[in-house]
Structure 1
């Protein structure tokens, strides 16, 4: 018990809110504050993704022109996923597909799958001695189709400026099921600008296409917003620890992302330096965003047997001088 405060939320805590108006009307949001610098918004109606992230008052992530969009507006057709791509700090891509729309073994798959537009069926949160913990369960299931369940835990430290995302994906059906996941983490202004220092200590970098290959030597160099900019994607391979970081020298703040590259073996750097579409994606996943058909042909597609579970953990640490 702290004798100086009347309510625990003076220092840290979790509050639930609902949006009013616009396409986000009615969406459930959890506002987390760890009392040492991190403020985070978790969108329970969007797979418990992280829609906003601030550190010591500075915005760290990109919020797209779509703004908040409730699941009811989701359109699975081709690339219409982009019409509800809030981005935020984290948008989860998958579970049936990641990347380009395609047809894989007769199944029509939309851009980046549908999990990010599914609400959590169950969610609860509590405070441990040294952390705020949010748990959510999201079902990606249908009759005559896949039966996958995502159990997500987000744990925000109360003593260190860091948090972890731990996902357990389970095949609750009776057939072997392909699955993909990509942690689409989106850096935005003022953390991101032309002076930002980006480090990705990979052992191999591959350009997604010829357009990206033309400028591969500058893949870690950020630029000013440019009209008509065409996105560039780079695929990174790691040995040992997977890591990527971004640091804003003018604000003396940044963040670092850590993951196991043996499990999440498809890291993507998405460089988009457009006007208002100004974002850097630092995205670890178990595949590349080329479509599930391409991943199947390459041998990179992952599967879950009936009853099998797979767990992934991503750690995000704030940086400051």
Structure 2
């Protein structure tokens, strides 16, 4: 409806990947195009930049800045007239990696739900490790002082030193705080037989949320 999703990045427009220098800023160049509601991170690696076997692994990999090809739009001719946007990402480098990712974004007219369906294929001759992170980014009106994250949690642990001190209040958000560093937690949720689970981020009043 009239509820805005997403967040307020200094980056206001979609930046063509040719203008993103991933190696810039010591491996933080990815941030110069970062403004999506959901960002795909991967697939050779995710996480903070660092050197591994002499190679600089940049922030969150390349997936968010690989242009899609074979992009098609499908609209069903029968109710509920599902809208499907499909494309293919290819992460390829001679002697290094040969991944392809078939991706779909699916919704229906008038719906408040969308689905991302991604299928990663290793086209190489040998097994290859991959990592995937779906970086979901929200702001007001969901995030505010007293907003909460709720999930059926089996285990939670701090990812970084900043999170250790805040662990007792890990589910509750504070007001915007100057110079507040990222606070990250590892969460292992309970799930059903298919491995699916449910998480909710809601405002302080519990009157508005996203799951």
TM-score relative to the length of structure 1: 0.58
Q: 1:251 to 1:198 in 2, by over 3 A?
A: closer
State how 1:85-104 maps to structure 2 within 5 Å: 85-86=34-35, 88-104=36-52
**Equivalent of 2:31 in 74, 82, 90:** 82
Give CA deviations for 1:65-93 in whole Å, capped at 9, x if unaligned: 1222220121121222122222x210110
State how 1:3-152 maps to structure 2 within 5 Å: 56-68=1-13, 69-77=15-23, 78-86=27-35, 88-128=36-76, 129-130=79-80, 131-152=82-103
Q: 1:113: how far off?
A: 0.2
Distance 2:189 2:206 in 1: 29
Distance 2:3 2:111 in 1: 17
Give CA deviations for 1:288-321 in whole Å, capped at 9, x if unaligned: xxxxxxxxxxxxxxxxxxxxxxxxxxxxxxxxxx
Q: 1:242: how far off?
A: 2.5
Q: 1:196: how far off?
A: 2.5
- The unaligned stretches of length 5 or more in structure 1 are 1-55, 257-321
SS, match of residue 168 in structure 2? helix
Q: Which protein has the bigger strand share?
A: 1
Give CA deviations for 1:257-297 in whole Å, capped at 9, x if unaligned: xxxxxxxxxxxxxxxxxxxxxxxxxxxxxxxxxxxxxxxxx
Structure 1 vs Structure 2 CA RMSD: 1.9
Q: 1:80 to 1:160 in 2, by over 3 A?
A: closer
Q: How many residues align?
A: 200
CA contact under 8 A between 1:137 and 1:151: conserved in structure 2? yes
Distance 2:47 2:39 in 1: 13
Give CA deviations for 1:156-188 in whole Å, capped at 9, x if unaligned: 134753121110001112232221110000111
SS, match of residue 59 in structure 1? coil
Distance 1:114 1:85 in 2: 12
